[in-house]
Amino acid sequence: MSATRSIYMDHAATTPCDPRVVEAMLPYFTEKFGNPGSRNHRFGWEAEEAVDEAREKVAALLGADPKEIIFTSGSTEGNNLAIKGAASIYERAPAGSAGRGHIITATHEHKATLDPCKRLQKEGFDVTFLEPPRDGVITAEMVRGAMREDTILVSIMWANNEIGTINEVPEIGALCHDRGVIFHTDATQWAGKMPTDVEEAKVDLLTLSGHKLYGPKGVGALYVRRRKPRVRLQAMIDGGGQERGFRSGTLNVTGIVGLGKACEIAAAEMGADGARLLALRRRLEQGVTSRLEVTQVNGHAERRLPHIANISFGFVEGESLMMAVKEIACSSGSACTSASLEPSYVLKALGVGDELAHSSLRLSLGRWTTEADVDFAVEKIVTSVLKLRELSPLYDMYKEGIDLSKVEWAHH
């Protein structure tokens, strides 16, 4: 590939490690390589101390007690452990029978939440998949409406990964605590970006991942409430009994140290970072929508993370748009970028028309995104959309005043 300018706007997929994180991790690969499980020599103690310190930093980011933090390999594991682990403890009837309990989640959750819920559904649990309204926000009222006498678990993400919308988590937490229902939130996109207090939000289980907050990949944390109520989980990985039995396996010390450092930096800098990112996101959205007709910023206008923009462009297809803006690394809701050839289920769940769901870009900004990057992206996106509209039969029809929804398409 040529040395053209390349701008990373896919921070919702993964973030680069902060150099301060890498620096903190390095000694734990070589000199301080011990196993925290080795209780009788210096190497083990050193490693254990580092893990304890990281645990405190993660807990501090969430307003939790360090004893409430379980280290995992990331959010997929965290969500699986939280959802399946809670379901098998709080079930109303044993495996093999029906009516094991009711679970509430939403159709635009991440697959790492949906698929564990679907597995539980096959295993005798009832699952309600809430359908989000057009603005994408799940409210406490929606959850209340779905609650049943046998509801045991609610799993609603704090903020959505594709559109950045923020659900009513503290309100849902309060509702769940009132009803004695366990509340899990996937905070992968939220934690480290927005102020978090698990006490105030009445969250029982919270998932986060290192590589979404400028830490390393392959490490994450699950917050498990210890008081009011003391939440229990069935472990999924059995073995040496590490992490108080919730998650066996030798601790990923380097990763954990990195996650701790990343959380520490996030806690100190999220205020300034968030304000800067919000201004950049608005500049991006306004820059693009003010210069192009038939565009749509997806998700609630206000209740959105500062760094995620999801924009649909009428009459152009997402994958070809991504090819046209190849200098910008971003993602698309286009079917053609997914293995399944289905357009984004998240945008579909929001009722975004198929033709607009095929034509969306998710641009997610990060700690090192500059105003110049945003201006470059706006220019590139605008010229590319105009160029592709020149190629688009749909745009011609629109210009001629033909109603695209009334055309008889040859479906294939």
Partner 1 sequence: MAYGPKIIEHYENPRNVGTFGTQKEIKERKDIGVGLVGAPECGDVMQLQLKVNEKGVIEDARFKTFGCGSAIASSSLATEWIKGRTLDEAEALKNTQIVEELSLPPVKIHCSVLAEDAVRAAIADYRRKNGLEAPAGQDAHAAPAHG
Binding residues for partner 1, rule: CB under 8 A, are 315-317, 319-320, 323, 334-337, 339, 341, 343, 353-355, 358, 390-397, 400, 402, 404, 409-412
**CB–CB of 130/155 below 8 Å?**
no
Nearer to partner 1, 354 or 371 (CB): 354
* 355's tokens: 């033709």
- Give me the least distance between CB of 357 and partner 1, in Å please: 8
Look up tokens 């009011």; give the residue.
Answer: 228
- Give me the least distance between CB of 224 and partner 1, in Å please: 40
Other Cβ atoms less than 10 A from the Cβ of 41: the count is 10
Nearer to partner 1, 2 or 30 (CB): 2
**CB–CB of 159/167 below 8 Å?**
yes
- Give me the least distance between CB of 289 and partner 1, in Å please: 20
Active site residue 336: yes
Nearer to partner 1, 47 or 316 (CB): 316
Distances (CA, A) of 232 to 88, 245, 290: 10, 11, 51
* 32's tokens: 């301080």
Nearer to partner 1, 150 or 319 (CB): 319
Q: Active-site residue among 176, 263, 330, 336? A: 336
Which DSSP symbol is given to 246? Answer: T
**What is the rounded distance in angstroms from the CA atom of residue 182 to the CA atom of residue 81?**
14
- Give me the least distance between CB of 398 and partner 1, in Å please: 11
- Give me the least distance between CB of 373 and partner 1, in Å please: 23
* 215's tokens: 């830490």
Nearer to partner 1, 172 or 311 (CB): 311
3-class secondary structure, 44: helix
**What is the rounded distance in angstroms from the CA atom of residue 113 to the CA atom of residue 74?**
13
DSSP string, 271-327: HHHHHHHHHHHHHHHHHHHHHSSSEEE-S-SSSB-TTEEEEEETTS-HHHHHHHTTT
- Give me the least distance between CB of 26 and partner 1, in Å please: 33
Nearer to partner 1, 22 or 294 (CB): 294
* 181's tokens: 């229902």
- Give me the least distance between CB of 409 and partner 1, in Å please: 3
Nearer to partner 1, 98 or 339 (CB): 339
Contacts of residue 163, Cβ cutoff 8 Å, sequence gap at least 6: 136, 298, 299, 304, 308, 310, 346, 347, 350, 362
Look up tokens 């009837």; give the residue.
Answer: 93
Distances (CA, A) of 282 to 78, 279, 333, 369: 32, 5, 20, 13
Give catalytic residues, as residue numbers. Answer: 336
